[in-house]
Amino acid sequence: MSVRMIAFAVVATVAAVWARPVEAGRQTVCLQPEAFSGAAVNTAVLQYLYDGPAGKRLSATAQRLSRLIQLDTLLSLLKHESIGVLHLEIPPGSESQCPAARVTEMLLGRRPGGQPVSPGHALVLVGGRMYEEQGQIYVQSRLEFRRRDRPEELRLTVPDAAGRAITFTAGLPSQTIAFPPRRLTADDLKKIEANFAAAAVVRPHPSDTVPGKPLDVPSLEEFAYWVTDTKPGGWMKIQSQGSGPSGWVRAQIDPGLRARMPELLLVDGLVGYLRYRMDREGPRVGLPAQPPALVRDTLAQYLKREASNTASEPVALAHSLDATLRILETGPADRVTVPVEARQGLTRVTALIPYNPGAWGLRAIADVQACCGPGGTTARWEEVANTFLKALAAGPRDAVALANLEALYVLLSATPPSTPIAAAEIQRRLQEVRAVRAAIRGR
Amino acid sequence: MRTRMGLAGAAVLVTILTSVAAHGEIRPCPGLGLGSPTFNILLDDLHQTETVKSDPLLADFTTRLRHALRSRLDGLTPSGGVVFEVLQCGGRKPVNASEFDDDALVAGLARSNVVLEVWGVLDGTATGGEIRERRAAITYFVVPVRADRTGAERRRGMFAVAYPKVARSATDFLELFEEAGEIEAYVSLGVGLRKLRDGDTGQAREYLCRAQHLVQKAWGTAPRPGSQEEAFLTYLRAQAARALAAEPGARLVGANAQCPGAEN
């Protein structure tokens, strides 16, 4: 059997989730991408595109980089439970038919072809470009994530004076991110590959002292594996779907690849974030997600690595995920509050990407409780309104900012005003926002 | 810092440009067609002075630079489904901004959706047969600025930058472009102006605000009063204001509202 892709599924309650385990061995190419329908989060690594001069080819080592990324992703995501990791191969000559946006659409069921993720389940697509010159490999990654049929948003509810709940909603600043280019040497990659191969030994029992067979990276290109069980200490039991060895492997991440491509840490944190949100909001799949504090630790590691870089958008995303988790951790959906650390994090986001309307919108809704909720006295309503207006100054048609601004004035108009002038001003502003929304709808 | 960049940069440009031919060649760029669905960036063949021609790192340099530019421009892609293509224009070698003083040439570029053309000269100092002090004089031609006929003043859309911006020794010419944060700014400006021309004022505003932030970040400090940079920033602000003024949301934020983060 010539299966040129590897597909992994990591599940704890295998029988319940994987009704058709043979799916794990199905060939998946970008033209017909096939997700694991039972996995809570599918992480798809779309083969990195070669961006060099015509007639030149990537070295064998560089060609295997996207598989190393997949292997790192698999091993690091094991802890999150109920994860599918795919490698989507781009057949020669099909590059123009497999842009990341189109593959994402197919995997989300918005475009025919392949097997999409299940409704409410999440997709993380990683891909990028690669170029090689004189032993140096330049690689640039791109990340996109979505939950199928579900917006990625934060909802905060604030009661007005009459006890009616006023809801504020904002999304993350961006769900498609390009990372800065990285430079690796061929020697770096060979070492990383060797470390993975040395660590990945298939043993009959979950113990380092039991002799086993190596599961080297080249052999991974030939087989598909299905993970049937896990044990503490990072052990996973793999079942070969081809002629490869089956048994126990200890998931050990080689730090070398993450040191050179810190974006893998962000992917790790993002998957933890998505798993946590699915646990809270459904559909629940498999065992509970990791506690958000551990996910935030991974995001903090990413932020530490990127501290000296100029990667504004990815760093802003990491801060946004961290702040959202901090808010969600405070309670059930209708009773979350906003810790000071979350507000500080979102202020950093607007400093990093002040041109992004979504960044201002997210920061503003996090400030609403502080100005206008019960006992909220640490912010003035005018400041919060101005933050929403900054979202509109950057993106004048930002529908989310307009809806939130209207909600803010509705909330304030039901609150006893500090002065008659303030009451009149709030009414004037409320009418104006409604007029602008109507004008935009009428266009 | 700003003064140092402006004056020192200009001096280096003059030195380098006088060492190459007075006129280059503006051949058609292979692969560039009319009505292109992508926003295009043209990467011309950069002149290499006699001093640096023997640099082994210049083999495939344009290809490497193209890869670097494509990678960086991917960072601009997420907003609004805009797609960029960086075209390598083999044999196209302008050396003088006046070579672009041809309305037909500029109209053709605009029709082909070109937002930026990058051209210039690579130079260095040789010591003992080894090339040191690599430097580049790059001009960014933002085509939609030239095509913008609003206002009394015709703008050339040419922005010259000398690298390195501060004295340092680069072991490869590509390193010089790592500090070229203005590239994303000029591309955002180009896209913003095109969106403005097409009446998509909401998106235009977003790109023009992004351009303001990126260019100020690339400069590092506020422009000196009366400098070209200050004039450029004034122009950018005016275009962002034009975009906002056409939007109903201007009633809420004020027609003269600055882009967030670019108020100063």
**Greater pLDDT, A31 or A57:** A31
For the segment B145-174, what is each residue's pLDDT rounded down to a tens digit? 998 877 656 678 999 988 888 777 777 888
* Lowest-confidence pick of A196-205, A320-329, B13-22: B13-22
Instruction: Give the pLDDT band of residue A293 (cuts 50, 70, 90).
Output: very high
The pLDDT assigned to B23 comes to 62
Looking at the partner chain, which of A389, A395, A435 has a beta carbon nearest the beta carbon of B205? Answer: A395
> Highest mean pLDDT range out of A8-12, B6-10, B178-182?
B178-182
A contacts of B210 (beta carbons < 8 Å): 355
Which position has the higher pLDDT, A345 or A134?
A: A345
| Number of Cβ pairs < 8 A linking chain A and chain B | 113
Q: What is the mean pLDDT of residues A204-211?
A: 91
* Of A215-229, A285-299, B129-143, the least confident: A215-229
Q: Scanning every residue of chain A, which has its alpha carbon at the shortest distance from the alpha carbon of B262?
A: A354
Calculate the alpha carbon distances from A329 to A275, A341, B224 in Å: 14, 12, 48
* Cross-chain residue pair B75–A178, CB shorter than 8 Å: yes
pLDDT of residue A442: 83
Q: How far is B124 from chain A (nearest CA, A)?
A: 22
In chain A, the residue whose alpha carbon lies closest to the alpha carbon of B241 is A393
Is the CB of residue A80 less than 8 Å from the CB of residue A65?
A: no
pLDDT digits (tens, 9 = 90+) for B215-260: 998 888 888 999 888 988 999 999 999 999 999 999 999 988 999 9
More confident residue, A320 or A259: A320
pLDDT score at A218 = 57
Who wins on pLDDT, B168 or A22?
B168
A129 contact residues in B (CB cutoff 8 A): 67, 70-71, 74
- Contact list in B for residue A180 (CB cut-off 8 A) is 71, 75
For B70, the closest of A51, A174, A436 (CB atoms) is A51
pLDDT of amino acid A172: 97
Task: Give pLDDT, residue B21.
Answer: 54
The per-residue pLDDT for A5 is 31
Lowest mean pLDDT among A15-24, A71-80, A137-146: A15-24
Please write the tens of the pLDDT for every residue from A36-69.
Answer: 888 899 999 998 888 776 666 677 777 778 778 8
Give the distance from residue A173's alpha carbon to the nearest chain B alpha carbon, in angstroms. Answer: 10
Which residue of chain B has the CA closest to A388?
Answer: B253
Please give the distance of CA A125 from its chain centroid, rounded to a whole number: 8
Asked whether residue A225 carries a pLDDT value surpassing 80, the answer given is: no
CB contact under 8 A, A396 and B60: no
Average confidence score pLDDT of chain B: 84
Instruction: Give me the residue from A355, A360, A436 closest to B251, CB to CB.
Output: A436
* Substitution target from A56, A261, A355, A362 for chain B, most B beta carbons within 10 A: A355
What pLDDT, on the 0 to 100 scale, is given for residue A217?
A: 58
Mean pLDDT along residues B86-108: 90
Q: Do B252 and A432 touch (CB under 8 A)?
A: yes
Q: How far apart, in whole angstroms, are the C-alpha atoms of residue B81 and residue B205?
A: 15
Opening angle at CA A176, ends A174 and A177, nearest 5: 95
pLDDT at residue A103 greater than cutoff 50: yes
State the average pLDDT for chain A: 85
The predicted pLDDT at position A342 comes to 97
Task: Summarize pLDDT for A396-418 with one digit per residue, the tens.
Answer: 999 999 999 999 999 999 887 77
Is residue B15 pLDDT above 70, yes or no? no
* Mean pLDDT, residues A117-125 taken together: 96
pLDDT given for residue A382 in this prediction:
93
Residues of chain A contacting residue B74, judged by C-beta atoms under 8 Å apart? 129, 140, 142, 178
Model ipTM? Answer: 0.86
The residue that leads in pLDDT, A21 or B69, is: B69
Predicted confidence band at A191 (pLDDT cuts at 50, 70, 90)?
confident
- pLDDT for the residue numbered B59: 78
Grade residue A329 by pLDDT with cuts at 50, 70 and 90: very high
Which residue of B63, B64, B74, B195 is the best one to mutate when testing the A interface, meaning the one whose CB has the most A CBs within 10 A? B74
